[in-house]
């Protein structure tokens, strides 16, 4: 038991040291202890955000939908999708072979397909999925906006991209947190898991939504096919939406 605890502690330290653009090999190494870490995060620190996320899953995923869980990791969000909706199929995609092995071992559902792949270059055609779910992933990508653009590429014109990410609170709390992080991490290998408002990939329109929790530490967002992620202030591309969506709100 003592050895197991030490291994978990070492794994947690490795997780905390991971930074934006980290290699797949690093996630292979932490896969055996990842669930212990993520359950503390989901059930306690990010619990309100996850409750809201699950409500959006129920709202947006219609019976018979085709869903992509992008950056599925060990399958925790895949399980949530199955628990809170009735999809025809869920593709659980992750770059880490070891993460997917853990997911396969705990998810025994014929509706789930496990696939290794790069979130930056998804191995799917345009307009494939009804919904793409992506939780706690984009903040560790080297280019979060490009990552969400790729997610938008593979949703159908009436589809939705639903994602959660760690964010840097604004105001005094954010300033204090940034100061602390600057002190505890190296300048050559900064901890960049908290996206600032300028870094976050989002676009305000009638088809999108954004809500923050924990004083701004966690953010849950939805965007539609029409949303230009490169700059929030850009106008929509309504021609990318289906007629039913472009004629009214998706909320």
Give residue 222's pLDDT. Answer: 98
- Phi, psi (5° rounding) for residue 140? -100, 0
**Tokens (6 digits) for 223:** 């965007």
Q: Name the residue range of residue 193's domain.
A: 2-246
Of the two residues 192 and 195, the one the predictor is more confident about is: 195
**Tokens (6 digits) for 244:** 């039913």
Residue 195: DSSP 8-state: B
Give residue 175's pLDDT. Answer: 56
Average of per-residue pLDDT across 96-113: 96
Measured between alpha carbons, how far is 229 from 237 in angstroms, rounded to an integer? 11
- Is residue 123's pLDDT more than 60? yes
Give residue 11's pLDDT. Answer: 44
Alpha helix (H) residue ranges in 158-199: 171-184
Of the two residues 7 and 223, the one the predictor is more confident about is: 223
Number of domains composing the chain: 1
Global pTM reads 0.84
Tell me which of 154-163, 204-213, 230-239 is least confident: 230-239
Q: Do residues 20 and 192 lie in contact, with contact meaning Cβ atoms separated by under 8 Å?
A: yes
In a domain? residue 37: yes
In a domain? residue 23: yes
In a domain? residue 151: yes
In a domain? residue 218: yes
What CATH number is associated with residue 29?
Answer: 3.40.50.150
In a domain? residue 172: yes
In a domain? residue 251: no
Of the two residues 16 and 162, the one the predictor is more confident about is: 162
Q: What number of helices (H) and strands (E) belong to the chain?
A: 8, 7
């Amino acid at each position: 038991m003592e050895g197991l605890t030490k291994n978990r502690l070492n794994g947690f330290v490795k997780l905390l040291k991971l930074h934006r653009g980290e290699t797949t090999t690093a996630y292979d190494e932490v896969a055996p202890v990842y669930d212990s870490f993520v359950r503390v995060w989901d059930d306690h620190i990010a619990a309100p955000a996850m409750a809201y996320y699950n409500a959006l899953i129920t709202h947006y995923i219609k019976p018979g939908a085709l869903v992509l869980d992008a950056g599925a990791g060990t399958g925790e969000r895949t399980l949530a999708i199955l628990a809170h909706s009735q999809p025809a199929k869920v593709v659980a995609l992750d770059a880490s072979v070891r993460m997917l092995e853990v997911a396969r071992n705990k998810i025994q559902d014929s509706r789930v397909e496990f696939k290794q792949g790069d979130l930056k270059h998804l191995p799917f055609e345009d307009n494939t999925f009804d919904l793409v779910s992506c939780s706690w992933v984009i903040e560790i990508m080297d280019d979060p906006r490009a990552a969400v653009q790729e997610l938008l590429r593979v949703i159908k014109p009436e589809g939705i991209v639903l994602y959660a990410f760690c964010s840097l609170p604004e105001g005094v709390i954010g300033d204090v947190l940034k100061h602390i992080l600057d002190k505890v991490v190296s300048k050559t290998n900064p901890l960049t898991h908290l996206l600032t408002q300028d870094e976050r990939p989002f676009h305000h329109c009638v088809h999108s939504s954004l809500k923050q929790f924990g004083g701004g530490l966690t953010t849950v967002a939805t965007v539609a096919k029409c949303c230009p992620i490169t700059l929030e202030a850009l106008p929509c591309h309504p021609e990318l939406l289906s007629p039913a969506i472009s004629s009214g709100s998706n909320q």
